[in-house]
Structure formats: structure tokens, C-alpha cells
Structure 1
Amino acid sequence: MIPFEEALARLLATAVPVGAERVPLDDAAGRVLAEDIAAADAMPAFDYSSMDGYAVATADLAGSGPFTLPVRGESAAGRPLPALDRGAACRIFTGARLPPGSDAVVPQEDAARSGDEITVREAPRAGAWVRRRGADLAQGAVALRRGARLTPGKVALAAALDRPTVLVARRPVVTVLCSGDELRAPGSPGAAGTVAESNSYFVAATARAAGAAVRVAPFVPDDAARAAEAVSTALRGSDLVVTVGGVSVGDHDVIRPALEAAGVTLDFWRVAIKPGKPLAVGRAELSRGGAVHVLGLPGNPASASLTFVLFGVPLLRALQDDHAPLPPRVVVRAAGALRRQAGRAEFLRARLEIAGGELVARISANQASGAVTSFAEADALVVVPADQDRIDEGDRLQAIRLAEI
């Protein structure tokens, strides 16, 4: 077995970005930028009012107030811009350009209007209630950097920068291949001892959330020749092939030899983590150049889900040249105590709560590798270092929030 950190580093070191494509802004959320986006003009592009009120020149309001000014003209957003007459005020609305000659805005609640005049008790300071040109971004400044995943806020910024399309990483193509004679589709009839297959649903949904395009292949029976054929087919047109089950050393574990028969070179097999030790990682070199990554996940549901979260998601992000492929970790306080055997890093499914102003992780009672329920109930993975043999009430540990993978 190799340590978790070494295994992950070795996997990510082999990731080569899959290329880029240009997409409309409507389709950009969740994608990874493949270009820097700079501000063609300053943002905002002009001085404007942040309040409804009156634009004035502070030089006209010298000395002590109150001051009475005639109101001449009006500036509204998107309308022609009037100039400010000397010694006068100009009616102005939120978002409207500041008239030439003015340098401040008096909010309408601070001005008493009578007919075509306003009275102001105190002179505003220069720049009051004015959003200056370039306050957000200087002309030419990089607003969005290559490698950033486009959140809704970033998409909105690209739109504000007048970009109808953006260059983003192509979606990596993932093929999911589940093996086992016992598998059947949910809702379909099956003989005694068969189970409704669930792992492909977790892997596919998680991969799509990480930006991938997903194909789910037909189930692979426990037959060496058919498994080798299925693996060869899955490799075609994929950037990542994820197999589930059949990577251990049992008599019916046909996937490892099928991978090797299809030309997959395994980099490592077995990682010092719990659950998920029998993880196979390799690549198949393509005749046209490049390579297809292969992750052979264990078949137990919790193990399969965990290993794909820990290895599959960072790999998919790295294939998109995401500048932050690893999920962020938060510090949590443990609720309850646990004794364990040291030697492997353990990732405990847990629920997060707020107690006493702190983030608390309530570790799930059922940590069995075959428990589908554990990931359905969990919203975090509590990380227990390999050399730690116990968790005590109140211990502070790192955790991975599943919503952020």
C-alpha cells in the first residue's frame, strides 16, 4: 500500500489538460476558464451616482450653509448627459452619469426642494455618493483568470465585461463500467441474490458536478473475455474510464486482468486509506498520442463513492486545468469519541452542525464499506491521519465538505 498523499500526487502529476472550446455565456456556469479575461474598458466606465438626488459642484458651496441652488436639467441612466450650469444643481438618479462640472451628489432626502430650487444645509464632500470610473477594475486589468471555475458571480462579471462567449476547458469524457453478475438495473426483475446497482449513479452525478460528460456502459459480467472487450470499448473516446468492482484478488474479480489485457498500465494498486484500499490507478497510451486515465474502484458502495470523491474529482478538475483541483478542508470539532486501528488514513462520513459558534462533525454510526446509507446521510468526510488511533470528544480535525467537491 502507498500513502494517500503520495497516491493522489502521483495521479495528478499525470493529468494533462484535455483542451478548450468556446461556449456561450449561458452555458459557462461550472466550466473552467481556459483564458484570462481582462477589462477592455474601466469598470465602471464612467462616474455615476449611487443615489437619487442632485449633482452639484462642491466649489459652489463654499462657506457655511444653508445653500440654495436652482435645479437645471436631469441625468437619468441611459439618457443623454446634460452639463452642469455653474451655481446650479442637476437632478440625478441612481446609476446615471455625473454631469460634467459636478463632483458630488446630495441625496434627495438631504435636500429640501421648493419649485425649481433646493436648499442644502451642509455642503457635501467632493466624491460623496459618486461611484468613480475604474473603482472596480482599471482598464486592462485581468478580471477573471485562467483556471478559475465559473461560479454564477463570475459568469455575471464576464457578462458585465461585455463577453458573450468564453473559452473554457472541454468537458472530460468519463465512461463508467460496473462489473458483477449480481447487478441489475433499479426496478428491473432479478433472481435471488441480485442487487439494484447504485454505484454508477453516484459516480456519474459526481463526475457531472465536476464538469465531466458521462457515459454509463452496460454491466460487465464476471467473465474475463467479456470484461476485456468491455474495457477496450470503454477506452475508445474516453478521457477517464472508471470501473467499479472486480479490482481485488478474488476468483470473480475480472477487471484487473481485463485492464491489463486492454493495454492499461497500472501505476499503483492498493492505497493506505479506509475504506477503499483496493483502488487501481493506471493509464492506457493512445496510438494517436495522449492517454486515457483509468480508475478501478472497489465494488462496495461506500468505498466506491469515497475513492471517486478523493481521486476521481481532483483528477477531473486537473484535466480541466482547474487551478484548485483539491477540495478545500475546514476544521471541525468532533462530537463523540472513536477508537481505531492506526496505519491507514480514514475518511469518516459525518453530519455537520453548528454548536457554540463552532462547526461540529457528528460522525455517522455506520461506517461499513458497503453502506449506501452513509453517503446519503453525510455532508462531510472527517479526515483521520494514518498514525492516529483515537478520536476524543472535542478533538479538532480536518474535514472535506461534500458540497464543495
Structure 2
Amino acid sequence: MSSSTDAVSVEEHRQRVLDAIDPLPAFDQPLMEAFGLAVAEDVHATVALPGFDNSAMDGYAVARADVATASEESPVHLPVVGEIGAGQASLMAVSPGTAVKIMTGAPVPAGADSVVPYEWTDRGVANVVISRAPTLGQHVRRRGQDVSAGDLLVEAGSVLGARQIGLLAAVGRPSVRSRPRPRVVVISTGSELREPGTALGRDSIYDGNSFLLAAAARQAGAIAYRVGIIRDEPQAFLAALNDQLVRADLVVTSGGVSMGDYDVVKEALAPLGTVWFGPVAMQPGKPQGFGTVGEDAVPIVTLPGNPVSSYISFEQFVLPAIRKMMGRSPYVRPEADAVLTHPMTSPAGRRQFARGTLSVVDGRLAVTPVGDQGSHMIGDLAESDALIVVAESVTRVEAGETVTVLPLDEEF
């Protein structure tokens, strides 16, 4: 792929990435491993829930006709012919005119159609005094009342949460066909970078980007591998990249994609002819790159080095790629409308993604721009919970106008 000096739109570059990404192959995974993953099959119940009529209360299983007249003034006396505990169903039937002690979850024996709770009895052992009559079928959970055999439980494409995992286990599924978490390798480049916890020189900075991007990838559902800092030397970068490809479904780099003398990612990858580099009509995040590397054509997304540019680029291009690999949709965050609380300007011809904080004012969603919109202001980024999206054709937005926002902390 060749480089281009003509800026492409955000949608064009995102589509470039998505067109080259395929969902990862699905396979059967144990239920707990499938938590948070997209199911790749329709799952139907093979058993009913409950699987048998069972008691919803601790009490006595009876035929309702035998206790229909029971009251405080005129209680009914019945012999107790046995006891049934959950998972201990030795008594399968009862005769008319008798009662059987029964525990919650235990199967209701043939001949009984209702359960009298302990609270309505004297809790007798050989004989029981019943002072209140249940309605027919009261406190009995009927077979198939919750789920019938053959019911569709989970549709293909659904994401398995705790409730869905519990349901699949309850119908006896030990595993489910689902798409795995993508393995995302994150590489930061820059001779000025240092690991947190080490000493800084006069011209060095701590590497926050790789932590930011690896955490964002993990939050998106991927398995993130953060690689140590790579100095601004093309051969060092290529060596590190080649070492990582064996465990990568996707590679994300930060830095080295602009027009400088030490833009190592661009210098190393451009000669391969498989990676496009060029400007995208957005602010921040104008310099971008995307392509494939290695014998297996592993997708690589190359992001700019300023932390805010890097994060916003991740949101626009990497997050959609991860979600498509996982079989999850939508690929991009849902937009919302909000009232702008303070005026702001925006560059002509470029879509601005400004940081903001959301609130509710007079019953409406409102957004306040956060601090300086410089692409290095990671403190302002951490304070934000939304991106304010200003179209390429708009150069100023007044307070009180409605703007488009991307909430950052909402699951989707």
C-alpha cells in the first residue's frame, strides 16, 4: 500500500480497517471461558426448567381437596407418611388423605397437587395440623414453567453475561461455541520513553501510551500484550515486531507515523508495501497507518504518539476492529445528543473529537468541554467521560447548541 498526502475521512479509514478484519474462528469453549464473548450459534434448551414439578416452599405436599376446608377455627389433621428432601426423592407417590413433608426444590410426589408451607401448620412429624388451605397448585413449580425443551435461549451474536452463563449451565450445557478474545500486541516507540518506576533524564518521559492502549484493548474484551519500549531504530522495531507476531491477532503501535526524521514505524514498514500511511481528516489523530505484516498477514494499526491522539484513534479504529474480531456489534460506540455548556471552536475540514464531561441539566444531557484540547493533555483525557464530535464543516459551536457526543464509560 502506498502513502497518501490527501486526507481521508474518519469513515473511510475505519472502513479500510474493518474491510481487512475477519471475525476470529469460533470453537467450543467452557462456559466460564466464554463469559463476555459472542456466541456463534443459536442455543436451544434440550431440557425443561424445572425438569419436574417441585416445591417452592418447605412444608407439606398434599392433595388440595383434602385440605380445602382448613382454617384457624377448623383445622384439618392429616397423617404424615414420609419426607422428601431436594435430591433425595425416595417417595414417589402419596395416597389420598395423607401428607408428606417436603423441602424446597424437592419433587412433588404423584397424588399431591399443592404445598402447605410450614407457617400454616403445627410442623407435626407423625401427624400435621393444617390451619390454612392453599389454592390449587400453590407453591408448586410446574415442569417447564420457566423454560421448555426446544426454547431458544441465546441467539447467535449475543454476548454472554452472568445471567446467560447461569441459564446455559442450568440446562446442562458445559460449553458453548463462541469466538475467542483477540490477542492484541501493543508496542510503543520512542527513544525518549522510559518505563514507569525508573529514573527520568532531562529529555525523557514515562511511557503512558502502551499502558493506556493495552488497558483499552483489555477493556474492549481482548487479551492485551504490552511490549517493552522500542527505541527509534527501524531494525530494532522490526525485530521486536517479528518476535511478537506469533502471538498476535492484531498489532497496535503508538508513535512514529508522522513526517519527522525519527518516525520509526513509518520508516520500517513503508518499504514493505503492505501498510498504508497517510492523513485522516480528524483532530487529534491526523497521521494514521494500517495494513498487514508477516507471513500470516497480521493486521497492524499504527497510531500517533501523543496520548490523546493515540486514545481517540484507538476508539475510532482499533476498538471497531476488536469488536468485529469478537463477532460483536455495533462496531462503533452509539452516539448521543447533548447540550453544550460552553462555546468551542473547531478546525475547518477536520472532524474534532474534543474531551468533555457529561451531566444532566434541566432534565437534558449536557456536556462541558474539558481543559485545553491539546493532543498531549492526558490529565484532561482522564477527567473526561465523553468525546464531543464536531463535524468537518463546523468551525464554532455556541453554548446551548446541541452537539453529538460519544459516551466513553458506557457498555455497548
TM range (shorter): 0.7 to 0.9
Q: Within 2, Cα distance between the matches of 1:166 and 1:261?
A: 43
Q: Within 1, Cα distance between the matches of 2:57 and 2:221?
A: 41
Partner SS state of residue 122, structure 2: strand
- 1:3-152 to 2 correspondence within 5 Å? 3-60=9-66, 68=76, 70=78, 72=80, 73-80=82-89, 82=91, 83-109=93-119, 111-113=120-122, 115=124, 116-124=127-135, 126-152=136-162
Q: Kindly tell me: are residues 391 and 108 of structure 1, through their superposed partners in 2, closer, same or farther at Cα, counting changes over 3 Å?
A: farther
Partner SS state of residue 404, structure 1: coil
- 1:158-169 to 2 correspondence within 5 Å? 158-169=168-179
Does the CA-based 8 Å contact 2:67-2:76 persist in structure 1?
no
Q: CA deviation at 1:370?
A: 0.6
Partner SS state of residue 406, structure 2: strand
Does the CA-based 8 Å contact 2:18-2:320 persist in structure 1?
yes
Q: Within 1, Cα distance between the matches of 2:280 and 2:207?
A: 25
Q: CA deviation at 1:194?
A: 1.0
In the alignment, structure 2 segments of 5+ residues that lack a partner are 1-6
- The corresponding residue for 2:287 is 278
Does the CA-based 8 Å contact 1:241-1:292 persist in structure 2?
yes
Deviations 1:69-115, CA, capped at 9 Å, x for gaps: 51533333212153233244443332222222333334444x24374
Partner SS state of residue 317, structure 1: helix
Question: What letter is aligned with 2:162?
Answer: P
Partner SS state of residue 91, structure 1: strand
Question: What letter is aligned with 2:44?
Answer: A
- The corresponding residue for 1:369 is 375
- The corresponding residue for 1:201 is 211
- The corresponding residue for 2:185 is 175
Q: Within 2, Cα distance between the matches of 1:245 and 1:114?
A: 75
Q: Within 2, Cα distance between the matches of 1:86 and 1:356?
A: 66
Does the CA-based 8 Å contact 1:282-1:295 persist in structure 2?
yes
Q: 1:337 aligns with which of 321, 337, 342?
A: 342
- The corresponding residue for 1:321 is 327
Does the CA-based 8 Å contact 2:343-2:398 persist in structure 1?
yes
Q: CA deviation at 1:203?
A: 1.1
Deviations 1:258-303, CA, capped at 9 Å, x for gaps: 222234232x73333332222222234x54xx53111111111011
Q: Kindly tell me: are residues 100 and 189 of structure 1, through their superposed partners in 2, closer, same or farther at Cα, counting changes over 3 Å?
A: same
Q: Kindly tell me: are residues 358 and 76 of structure 1, through their superposed partners in 2, closer, same or farther at Cα, counting changes over 3 Å?
A: farther
- The corresponding residue for 1:251 is 261
Q: Kindly tell me: are residues 381 and 78 of structure 1, through their superposed partners in 2, closer, same or farther at Cα, counting changes over 3 Å?
A: farther
Question: What letter is aligned with 1:93?
Answer: M
Q: Kindly tell me: are residues 172 and 67 of structure 1, through their superposed partners in 2, closer, same or farther at Cα, counting changes over 3 Å?
A: same
Q: CA deviation at 1:198?
A: 0.7
User: Structure 2 length normalisation: TM-score?
Assistant: 0.83
Q: CA deviation at 1:24?
A: 3.7
In the alignment, structure 1 segments of 5+ residues that lack a partner are none
Q: Within 2, Cα distance between the matches of 1:211 and 1:303?
A: 22
Q: Within 2, Cα distance between the matches of 1:348 and 1:159?
A: 44
Q: Kindly tell me: are residues 104 and 209 of structure 1, through their superposed partners in 2, closer, same or farther at Cα, counting changes over 3 Å?
A: same
Partner SS state of residue 128, structure 1: coil
- The corresponding residue for 2:409 is 402
Q: Kindly tell me: are residues 129 and 6 of structure 1, through their superposed partners in 2, closer, same or farther at Cα, counting changes over 3 Å?
A: farther
- The corresponding residue for 2:202 is 192
Q: When the two structures are aligned, how many residues end up with a matched partner?
A: 398
Q: Within 1, Cα distance between the matches of 2:118 and 2:20?
A: 62
Q: Within 2, Cα distance between the matches of 1:207 and 1:41?
A: 38
Q: Within 1, Cα distance between the matches of 2:392 and 2:405?
A: 13
Deviations 1:291-350, CA, capped at 9 Å, x for gaps: 311111111101111211232122112112224444445x46446223222644333333
Q: CA deviation at 1:23?
A: 4.1
Does the CA-based 8 Å contact 2:389-2:403 persist in structure 1?
no
In the alignment, does 2:399 pair up with 1:392?
Answer: yes
Q: Within 1, Cα distance between the matches of 2:13 and 2:214?
A: 23
Q: Within 2, Cα distance between the matches of 1:253 and 1:93?
A: 72
Q: Kindly tell me: are residues 400 and 391 of structure 1, through their superposed partners in 2, closer, same or farther at Cα, counting changes over 3 Å?
A: farther
Q: Within 2, Cα distance between the matches of 1:370 and 1:347?
A: 14
Report the aligned-residue RMSD: 3.2
- The corresponding residue for 2:3 is none
Does the CA-based 8 Å contact 1:231-1:258 persist in structure 2?
no
Does the CA-based 8 Å contact 2:52-2:107 persist in structure 1?
yes
Does the CA-based 8 Å contact 1:46-1:133 persist in structure 2?
yes
Q: CA deviation at 1:390?
A: 1.4
Does the CA-based 8 Å contact 1:302-1:374 persist in structure 2?
no
Does the CA-based 8 Å contact 1:274-1:346 persist in structure 2?
yes
Q: Within 2, Cα distance between the matches of 1:356 and 1:87?
A: 66
Q: Which stretch of the first structure deviates more once superposed, 37-46 or 209-218?
A: 209-218
- The corresponding residue for 2:353 is 347
Question: What letter is aligned with 2:189?
Answer: S
Question: What letter is aligned with 2:262?
Answer: H
User: Structure 1 length normalisation: TM-score?
Assistant: 0.84
Does the CA-based 8 Å contact 1:231-1:262 persist in structure 2?
no
